[in-house]
Amino acid sequence: MNKYVSLFFVNILCAMNLAIAATEGAISVCSDQQSDIVCTESGAVRGSLEGDTLAFKAIPYAAPPVGALRWRPPVKPVAWTGIRDGSNYGASCPQLVDNRVEGQEDCLFINVWRPTQKPTKPLPVMIWLTGGGNHVFSGAGSFGFGKVVYNGRALVPNDVIVVTYNLRLGVFGFLAHPALDQERTEKVSGNYGSLDQVEMLRWVNRNIAAFGGDPSRVFLFGTSAGGGNICALLTSPLTTGLIHGVAMQSSVPIGCELQTLADAENGTGAEVSKRVGCVNQTDTAACLREKSVNELVSALPGTFTVFPRLYGPNVDGVVFPQQPIERIQQKNYPPVPIIIGDTKDETMQFVNSVGPITDAASYYAAIARVFGMTARDQIVEHYPLSNYPTPRAAFVQVTTDAQFTCQSRRLARTFASVQKPPVYRYVFAHSLENDPVQKALGAIHTIEHPFLFNWEGSYQPTAIDKKIQSLMLNYWANMAKVGNPNGPGVLTWPDAGKNGDTYLEISAASQVRQTLAQTHCDFWDTVKLPQPHL
């Protein structure tokens, strides 16, 4: 049999097996237990060995969003013939990295890691939603602690399937503008990256059985913008039935609150169109589409500060009908088991954005700059400098409590009060002792990443690091499997309770604790935090 006839039969088998999996929930029988070929709805893909996993990379889950599809909802990919090579990552989406524009618009790829042997029963699926303010770190990108590579090599041995993916970022993923509203029957714009995430979840629902995954056990976990996106997606009517558990880690935007469509149009939308010369044009949408990737990405970069400039979802009445927090309070979302948490020193690497904080005067000025003059004296009363080793340490505590720790408690309390599935809260309080720079920074934003993935960078983990990693991998995998982090060999992690106060401190001596008085969360529940701005 020549290779063309053989490929023809492979594609026929793919179509047949996906139909069987869809109608009977069966594992794909595209190939035998030793095969590295899996059939998706668009065609066959060959995986490659990666540690103790079989990795299938760069599978298109949507058509390239280029040309007329720029700033349009994603559409299904074109089917391919033959067997697609899944050994290398696809291109990342356009983003600004070290002041260079990297990536390309043809970037809507998904990656799947499974055990080397085809599972004999469907495994839960863990989908990673990367952080990066919705403007960087998509795809095989990495950051923090000497390259954290987001793959499934650490988690898959815990009997799960791991998925990562790209979504449109920044100006391509979230540009909202009245001219783009007019192109849609719904008269809305922005949220293209969120629609990519919805399409990715639909792809997983239709295809993951072919990899040995269970589409009825899909668990989302993500940090920073990834955590914020999870809260939004959980409340979207477009994801009903697609999400069965979540871990929202150090979530941004804070409090499960999004900008409105008007905010996005009058903010980043107006500023981008101005900077690229598309104001007062006869056809503004056409003008924007004529601009190059470099021009658009460079026009208005996102920032990382105490209150960052973020691209991201907006409440448009369609993808997100109302504020996620409101839908949660109204029980207008599918309740699922939830992990909510943050790190002990979240804002350590961001506080320099407000200037040096070296004495009382600069401490008071930084608080006024971030929270407003009206709130300054109240905050100083709760966080007197005499309680902290330095003014900078005091400001880190103020902003970490305000933006993360107390927001985590508030969300845990809200979820626990409206749903039956359990809510678990944590604070990651471990620092990387084997590197003097990282040790001095403490438990900063995103520090938990290598504990959920692999140590693939320059940092050499200690025995304690590996012990904590084993604990976290067990907790997160157990949540994906049964909706409860507890199991043999791990410290019992109780749920947060109706008041959201009970949490697990993850550290060298992990322990269950209650919300500490010095975080002043009752006080922060009364403070309306300012929103990010240009």
Q: Catalytic residues, which ones?
A: 224
Burial (CB count within 10 angstroms: exposed 0-12, middle 13-18, buried 19+), residue 301: middle
Catalogue the E-assigned strands of 304-457: 314-315, 338-343, 423-428
CB 45 within 8 A of CB 86: yes
Instruction: Show the DSSP H helices in 167-275 as ranges.
Output: 170-174, 178-181, 192-207, 225-234, 261-264, 270-275
Q: What distance, in Å, lies between the first and last C-alpha atoms of the chain?
A: 63
The three-state DSSP-derived secondary structure of 252-304 is CCHHHCCEEHHHHHHHHHHHHHHHCCCCCCCCHHHHHHHCCHHHHHHHCCCCC
Residue 339's DSSP bridge partners are 247, 424
In sequence order, the 6+-apart residues with CB closer than 8 A to the CB of 407 are: 251, 254, 255, 342, 524
**CA–CA separation, 147 vs 110, rounded Å?**
20
**CA–CA separation, 26 vs 469, rounded Å?**
33
**CA–CA separation, 235 vs 242, rounded Å?**
11
| Residue 253: cis peptide before it, omega within 30 degrees of 0 | yes
Gyration radius of the chain over CA positions: 23
